[in-house]
Amino acid sequence: MAFRHSYFYAVFWQRFKRNRLAMAGATVVALLFLLSLSASFLAPYDPNSINAWSVLSPPSRQHWFGTDELGRDVLSRIMYGARISLKVGFVAVGIAVSIGTVVGLVSGYYSGLADAALMRFVDIMLCFPAFFLILAVITIREPSIWNIMIVIGLTGWMGVARLVRAETLSIREMDYILAARCIGCSDARIIFRHILPNAISPVLVSASLGVAGAILTESALSFLGIGVLPPTPSWGNILTSGKDFIEFAWWLSLFPGLSILITVLAYNLLGEGIRDALDPRVKR
């Protein structure tokens, strides 16, 4: 079993590293992760430090990305904002993947009434526009980083559930699943020990793409003023302050916008690369 897993990972890595776009995305994701962890050491200024003498200063040697309307260093705020964006992405996707995986496994394995009930509930959830559902919940609840992560996670698990269900329906008919039933393995052991490891591939792809979607959603909510509230730095609320001064303080919109663009693009490239590396039909 260990040899089979090591061979699988070796083949996966060989296929993945031949995809230059995927490697570029993985590199950017790794750099962003390191940047978010070391922001307190690398940031040149305190992100919330107000300086009345340098209000709306353009990019310079002292402030590479300029300053905002309160004289705060934009580069420092973007570096600290990376923490918020990545935290929202990972926690929200973790919630969505956990719920979706369990629902998909149960639905696909037991089939029948359980499958019909769970899939109809998934269909009902998919009828609601996710972003407007998030807006409704956030306006009812007090805006906070934890509420945002939980709501994004609770409204993003349906796609994962469908993917896992489809894989489970195929895997449960395999001979080794029949053999596991014959020797008396419990349903829980069959599901989590035999089916889940073989159905994890689409989950990895969905998780990678889901992080990009969660970061984009958080930025949109913060831009609308119902996400991460100031003075906590977030790419979305930096953009919000920039829209009022876009005619003469272009850097307030350009740099956080580029940060969101590069991050979302990197996660999408990473997800596409993982999908191609796991798909034996794709030849590179």
pLDDT tens-place string over residues 141-171: 776 778 888 888 888 888 889 888 888 888 8
Residue 52 inside a domain? The answer is no
Please give the tally of structural domains in the chain: 1
Q: Which residue has the higher pLDDT, 103 or 280?
A: 103
Q: Indicate the pLDDT class of residue 5, thresholds 50, 70 and 90.
A: low
Question: Between 203 and 135, whose confidence is greater?
Answer: 203
Mean pLDDT of 224-238: 80
pLDDT score for 66 = 86
Retrieve residue 97's tokens.
């993947």
pLDDT for 2:
42
User: Does residue 55 form part of some domain?
Assistant: no
pLDDT, residue 39, reads: 82
Q: What is the pLDDT of residue 279?
A: 65
Which parts of the chain fold into alpha helices (H)?
2-17, 20-37, 39-42, 74-110, 112-127, 130-140, 145-154, 158-171, 175-182, 187-189, 200-224, 235-243, 251-278
User: Would you state the torsion angle of the CA atoms of residues 32, 34, 37, 38, taken in this order, to the nearest 10 degrees?
Assistant: -110
Decide if 49 is inside a domain.
Answer: no
Which pLDDT score, from 0 to 100, does residue 27 have? 92
- CATH code of the domain in which 139 resides: 1.10.3720.10
Question: Which whole number is the average pLDDT over 235-240?
Answer: 84
The rounded distance, in Å, linking the Cα atoms of 156 and 97 is 8
Q: Is residue 112 part of a domain?
A: yes
Specify the pLDDT at position 281.
53
pLDDT(270) > 60: yes
Q: Would you say residue 3 has pLDDT above 60?
A: no
pLDDT tens by residue, 170-211: 888 888 888 888 888 887 888 888 888 878 878 888 888 888
Q: Provide CB contacts within 8 A for 131, sequence distance 6+.
A: 217, 220
Q: Judge whether 181 lies within some domain.
A: yes
For residue 51, being part of any structural domain is answered with no
* Predicted pLDDT of residue 52: 79
Write out the residue range of the structural domain in which residue 164 sits.
Answer: 14-40+84-278
pLDDT, greater one: 82 or 10: 82
Reported as a single tens digit per residue, the pLDDT across 14-67 is 887 888 888 998 999 899 888 888 888 888 888 888 887 888 888 888 888 888
Taking the model in full, what pTM does it have? 0.83
- Could you tell me if residue 5 is inside a domain? no
pLDDT confidence bin for 7, thresholds 50/70/90: low
Q: Classify residue 191: in a domain, yes or no.
A: yes
Q: What is the mean pLDDT of the chain?
A: 83
Exposure of 259 in the CB half-sphere (CA atoms within 13 A): 32
- Give the SS3 label for residue 156: coil
